[in-house]
Structure 1
Amino acid sequence: MRYSSEHKQKTRASILTAAGQLFRKEGYGGSGIDGLTRAAGVTNGAFYGHFRSKSEAFRAAVASGLEDLRLAVGQLKADGGPSWLKNFVDIYLGAKRTCDLGESCALPSLSPDVIRADVDTRATYEAELKRLIAEVADGLAGAETQRSDDAIALLALLTGGVTLARAVPDKAFGERIAAIVKQRALEMTTHPDTA
């Protein structure tokens, strides 16, 4: 039976969504093809019709996760005007820090596995990360180089902050970590000459 291109696109999107959630939740090593196909509700044949391997699905999930973050930043900038950065930091250290791990941001949840991934996956990650940095930098104040540097530092601070706050079992300590990171992130991206 031949499927329409729309059906194929929906199947691929379903697999990619399930793979992204499973890789975030269980890590690359904790997720096998059987688990991916079960989570997506497809057969192994359907999976291999879209991805040649688990590593290719992981690469696509990483790219998709970083693209989703970049698009969300763009939307926050469009909707929030000058307050976009505060809104971004609030969401990142709030809802995206406390949501189910399968729904968490790709940066803190997938980056540790990217470190151990093949060169193609790492190159894909780098390319998407550079796009994300450019999107964030475009919404910051200061000279071009300063904005890019601030975007890198901001993303690293937020990612590390979420990682630390998620890792501790003491909820109050996790909240303290998030509050400190939020304060520092906003201080770091506000320059006296543009405030």
Structure 2
Amino acid sequence: MRYSAEHKKQTRAKVVIAAGQVFRKEGYGGAGIDALTKAAGVTNGAFYGHFKTKSEAFRTSILAGMEELRQGIAALKTEQAGGWLKVFVSFYLGYKRTCDLGDSCTLPTLSADVMRSDEDTRLAYTRELERLVSEIAAGLPEDAPRYAKGTSPEDRALLLLALLTGGVTLARAVNDPGLSERIAQLVVSEAVRNVE
């Protein structure tokens, strides 16, 4: 039986979403092909019809997660105009810190796995990170008095992403809810202060 191009596209999208959730929850090493196919509701043959290797599925999932974040920021900038940054930071250190790990952000959950991955994945991650930085930077004021003259919005966007990613990572890692909340509150106030 031959499937339509649309069916194949939908199946691939379903596999990418499911794989992203499994990779975020289990890490690259903990996510086997069986877990990936089970989560997507496809056979091994269907999985390999879309991806040659687990590494290719991982790379695609990473890029999809980063693109989702970039698009979310772009939408917030449109919907919230001047207040987008505070809304984003609060959401990131609120919901994205406390949601199921499979639904969390790619940056804090999978960046360590990217460090250990192949060069193609690291290159793709780097390019997507640069797009993400550009998206954030385009919504920041040109100059911020708190910084040395000439500090670019791109540098402030990098700082913001590093602060948020590290903050979520630490807040998720501790088993004390009070400490997790304290980390989140400190990062929220510092993140907003550092880019304005």
CA displacement at 1:110 relative to structure 2: 1.0
Letter of the 1:146 counterpart: S
Instruction: Name 1:79's counterpart in structure 2.
Output: 79
Instruction: Name 1:193's counterpart in structure 2.
Output: none
Indicate the percent of aligned positions where both proteins have the same amino acid: 60
* Partner secondary structure for residue 30 of structure 2: coil
Tell me which moved more, 135-144 or 69-78. 135-144
Is residue 164 of structure 2 the alignment partner of residue 161 of structure 1? no
* Partner secondary structure for residue 173 of structure 1: helix
Cα deviations across residues 162-186 of structure 1 (Å, max 9, x unaligned)? 0000000000000000000000001
Is residue 101 of structure 2 the alignment partner of residue 113 of structure 1? no
CA displacement at 1:146 relative to structure 2: 1.6
Instruction: Name 1:95's counterpart in structure 2.
Output: 95
CA displacement at 1:99 relative to structure 2: 0.3
Any gaps of 5 or more consecutive residues in structure 1? 191-195
Instruction: Name 2:69's counterpart in structure 1.
Output: 69
Letter of the 1:130 counterpart: E
CA distance in 1, matches of 2:154, 2:65: 21
Cα deviations across residues 34-83 of structure 1 (Å, max 9, x unaligned)? 11001100000000100000000000000000000000000000000100
CA displacement at 1:142 relative to structure 2: 1.9
Instruction: Name 1:5's counterpart in structure 2.
Output: 5
Letter of the 1:80 counterpart: Q
CA RMSD of aligned residues (A): 0.9
* Partner secondary structure for residue 130 of structure 2: helix
Instruction: Name 2:146's counterpart in structure 1.
Output: none
Map of 1:40-51 to 2, 5 A cutoff? 40-51=40-51
Instruction: Name 2:27's counterpart in structure 1.
Output: 27
Tell me which moved more, 138-147 or 163-172. 138-147
CA displacement at 1:145 relative to structure 2: 5.2
CA distance in 2, matches of 1:16, 1:37: 10
Instruction: Name 1:17's counterpart in structure 2.
Output: 17
Letter of the 2:109 counterpart: S
Is residue 154 of structure 2 the alignment partner of residue 148 of structure 1? yes
Q: State TM-score, norm by structure 1.
A: 0.96
CA distance in 2, matches of 1:115, 1:14: 26
CA displacement at 1:85 relative to structure 2: 0.2
2:194 equivalent among 180, 188, 193: 188
CA distance in 2, matches of 1:137, 1:145: 12
CA distance in 2, matches of 1:25, 1:130: 25
Give the paired residue count: 190
CA displacement at 1:151 relative to structure 2: 0.0
CA distance in 1, matches of 2:173, 2:116: 20
CA distance in 2, matches of 1:31, 1:9: 23
Letter of the 1:83 counterpart: G
